[in-house]
Amino acid sequence: MRERSHRTGPGNPARRGPRPVTGRNIGGLNSPRNGLRARAAQADSRHVRKGIRALIRIESVTKRYPDGTVAVDRLSLEIPDGSVTVLVGPSGCGKTTTLRMINRMVELSEGRILLDGADITRQPVNTLRRSMGYVIQNAGLFQHRTIVDNIATVPRMLGWDRGRARTRAMDLMERVGLDAGLAKRYPYQLSGGQQQRVGVARALAADPPVLLMDEPFSAVDPIVRKTLQAELLRIQEELGKTIVFVTHDIDEAIRLGDMVAVMRTGGKLAQFAPPDELLSAPADEFVEDFLGAGRGVRRLSFFTSAGLELTTDPVVAVDASAAQIAERATDDVPYLLVTDADGRPLGWARAKDAVGGEGLDAAQLLSHGRPFEFGRDSLRDALDCAVLSPTGWAVAVDGDGRVVGVASQETIAGAIRDAHAERKGSADRKAAAGAPGGPGATGARRTAR
Amino acid sequence: MSGGAGFFDIPSDLQHTYLGLIGEHLKEALIPVAGGLALSLPIAQLCVRFRWLYPPVLWVTTVLYAIPSIAFFVFLIDYTGATETTVMIPLTVYSLVVLVPAIVDGVRSVPQETLAAAEAMGFTSMQRYLRVELPIAVPAIFAGLRVATVSSISLVSVGSLIGNEGALGNLLSDAHVFHRSNLAVTSVVTTAVLAIVIDALLIGIRMLLTPWLPRGSRSARRASVDAVTGPAPEEARPLEEAAR
């Protein structure tokens, strides 16, 4: 179970939403170390109960069309339970074909696919399909049915009575963030993003253990896409489905995937790894090209900012007295971060100007830029804040937007070096021991809190 | 109005009142369309399933349409006699030339992703046809039905050629025989009004069957929806997202 060992590393703060820093728990094999977010811990225990059912195992599968074209070439993948596995690659790489072989919309030519240990051809094809949710580009809603009827389709086919199916559909509308008032509307009355939410709700309706998603978000605009991705992660956090997700967008793959399978033209697997490993160690030139520029910076998304050494030295309240200001504004502190009475950042003041004046003038401050949320945002976000900040210092806030400290570009660079060293060290240890294990958040310094 | 020359005065040889003629006319026009629809549905389904079948089927229906009704009558009169049936059989055949392509195109216009979604949800092919393809093809089918019905209403009149089986069309031959041109006016005007009324009726039924079709301008409708429910969730959320 090689791929599982990667899951014990520090979390993926690239994920927005309630996912905890250490929350990449798959199959419940590790327990949350963080302990900060009780809700997330509950979600994790649900994973545990689900056990390792619904594991999809693709064994040396080939799809050859009658004209001799090979769409998928001896592909083997183990899709872990309760996690998001992304198939990504250029067009013609066989990713959609692979997905469709799982619910037999395309029949494989050679090899076999096991679902929960049993060959998928063992059960009637429509029974198999009803046990897997399917989300498709442009949603593919039934335009002649209301939203609630669309969502209730599979439960109705499975013989649920109308009332129960409807209640279930209404629950799901809420879960995917749709207003209940839309229930009686028809698909044409919804925006593209709303339609795609309905598509997700419809796929979840009969609570299938597996969700197949075929480029579900590629037809919506980038802003809506980002929102839908975040919502998917939120829903996944709650439900812990086994999701197979197809996309041609490597950024989407890295954002959503617990595991990413990069496929190349001709239906061959180029690399199958967690996104962090993909970015740090692309298997070959093709994967490297496909990942594109900025790998190093993007990989910082997988390092938590929790280990950053913050300082509160330059932080002053807007109503601070002249003496307090003078005390803060030492030679090492060229700028002061001014906060309001609640501790929320207002902006930067030049230390020279502040000292000797009659207090701080909130109107004269330099913008503090976008702060990052300490512990939850990644080192990449922290670095971004520092680079964009007029003073070169990044402002760290807590979940309520109150300042917890500031970090200089140098501090962040140091944290990045430490994080890399730690990650490498654990990889070496792992290689030596041949056993799962990783540094986790325990290795991070949390002095600033 | 005097001397039996009024608009609604029908010569006694037709053995029908004005309303009776209308009833007769509707019967002879609509039964063939209904029959044609019943034939077209399976034929169209076969054409959708086996793509190669469609061109030859289209060719055959077109050729049948090209056969003059008189030729049909001459052929059929040996079997069905000088009856309504003899009039209705060619009309049924003629309706196919409109209905088959209408249904085929309607079913084919169902978006690929809708079909894929239905397949992925475990619909059998029969369920898919009845619950997805056919309902979505309803607007196209009704477009065909309207043309077939209107043309059938006008074609019934040729039935007068085989002896008073043309309903309102019989007034045309009477106009000729009795030198009463006002009968021709009655015939033509009534047939036209009938066609318009039935067409309007079909539009009404279609609208009842397809509440899911955008009415009028799509954007106007969308705007009214937003006015009711407030901005769509994803229009609000990116702001939160961007703020992070």
Going by C-alpha positions, the residue among A378, A247, A252 that lies closest to residue A303 is A378
Q: Is A410 exposed, middle or buried (0-12, 13-18, 19+ CB in 10 A)?
A: exposed
Structure tokens at A233: 């992660």
Q: What integer pLDDT is reported at residue A359 of this predicted model? A: 66
- A11 or B125, higher pLDDT: B125
Span B91-97, average pLDDT: 94
DSSP assignment letter at B130: I
The nearest CA of chain B is from the CA of A432 a distance in Å of 41
- B225 or A146, higher pLDDT: A146
Q: How confident is the model at residue B149 (pLDDT cuts 50, 70, 90)?
A: very high
Q: What integer pLDDT is reported at residue B166 of this predicted model? A: 80
Q: What integer pLDDT is reported at residue A45 of this predicted model? A: 38
CB contact, 8 Å: A385 with chain B? no
Task: Give the 3-state secondary structure of residue B216.
Answer: coil
Is domain A306-412 classified as CATH 3.20.20.70?
Answer: no
User: In degrees, to the nearest 5, what angle opens at C-alpha A391 toward C-alphas A387 and A392?
Assistant: 30
CB contact, 8 Å: A177 with chain B? yes
pLDDT-flagged residues of chain A (< 70): 1-54, 356-359, 427-449
Q: What integer pLDDT is reported at residue B175 of this predicted model? A: 82
Q: What integer pLDDT is reported at residue B72 of this predicted model? A: 87
The nearest CA of chain B is from the CA of A424 a distance in Å of 30
Show which of residues 136-155 on chain A sit within 8 Å of chain B, judged by CB atoms.
Answer: 136-146, 153-154
* pLDDT of B132 higher than 70: yes
DSSP assignment letter at A368: -
CB contact, 8 Å: A104 with chain B? no
Going by C-alpha positions, the residue among A405, A408, A392 that lies closest to residue A316 is A405
Domain borders along chain B are 12-213, 214-244
Span B49-76, average pLDDT: 91
Structure tokens at A449: 């809190």
- B220 or A365, higher pLDDT: A365
Q: What is the ipTM of this complex?
A: 0.74
* pLDDT of B238 higher than 70: no
- B81 or A208, higher pLDDT: A208
The nearest CA of chain B is from the CA of A74 a distance in Å of 24
d(CA A327, CA A381): 31
Q: What integer pLDDT is reported at residue A366 of this predicted model? A: 86
Going by C-alpha positions, the residue among A236, A238, A257 that lies closest to residue A246 is A257
d(CA B13, CA B9): 12
Among the partner residues A130, A230, A373, nearest to B122 by beta-carbon distance: A130
Query: pLDDT > 70: what percent of chain B?
Result: 86
Tens digit of each residue's pLDDT (9 = 90 or more) over B64-80: 999 988 888 888 888 88
What count of residues does chain A have?
A: 449
Span B222-238, average pLDDT: 40
Q: What integer pLDDT is reported at residue A135 of this predicted model? A: 94
Number of CB pairs, chain A paired with chain B, less than 8 A apart:
114
Going across the sheet that includes A56-64, the strands are A70-79, A56-64, A110-115, A118-119
- B104 or B173, higher pLDDT: B104
For A97, A185, A186, A217, the CA distances from B221, given in Å and listed in that order, are 38, 12, 12, 24
Tens digit of each residue's pLDDT (9 = 90 or more) over A395-420: 999 988 899 999 988 888 888 888 88
List residues of chain B with CB under 8 Å from any CB of chain A. 111, 113-124, 127, 132, 135-136, 138, 210-214, 218, 221-222, 225, 228-230, 232-235, 237-238, 241, 244
Task: Tell me the DSSP string of A122-158.
Answer: GS-HHHHHHTEEEEETTTT--TTS-HHHHHTHHHHHT
Q: What integer pLDDT is reported at residue A431 of this predicted model? A: 62
Q: What integer pLDDT is reported at residue A430 of this predicted model? A: 61
Q: Which CATH class is domain B12-213?
A: mainly alpha
Domain borders along chain A are 49-131+209-302, 306-412
Asked whether the beta carbons of A83 and A239 are under 8 A apart, the reply is no
The nearest CA of chain A is from the CA of B135 a distance in Å of 7
How many CB atoms sit inside 10 A of residue A395's CB?
A: 27
Tens digit of each residue's pLDDT (9 = 90 or more) over B109-121: 999 999 999 999 9
- B82 or B207, higher pLDDT: B207
CATH numeric code, A49-131+209-302 = 3.40.50.300
Asked whether the beta carbons of B26 and B88 are under 8 A apart, the reply is no
Residue A394: partners with Cβ closer than 8 Å, 6 or more residues away: A369, A371, A372, A382, A383, A385, A386, A406, A407, A408, A409, A412
Q: What integer pLDDT is reported at residue A427 of this predicted model? A: 67
d(CA B215, CA B14): 45
- A338: β partners: A316, A347
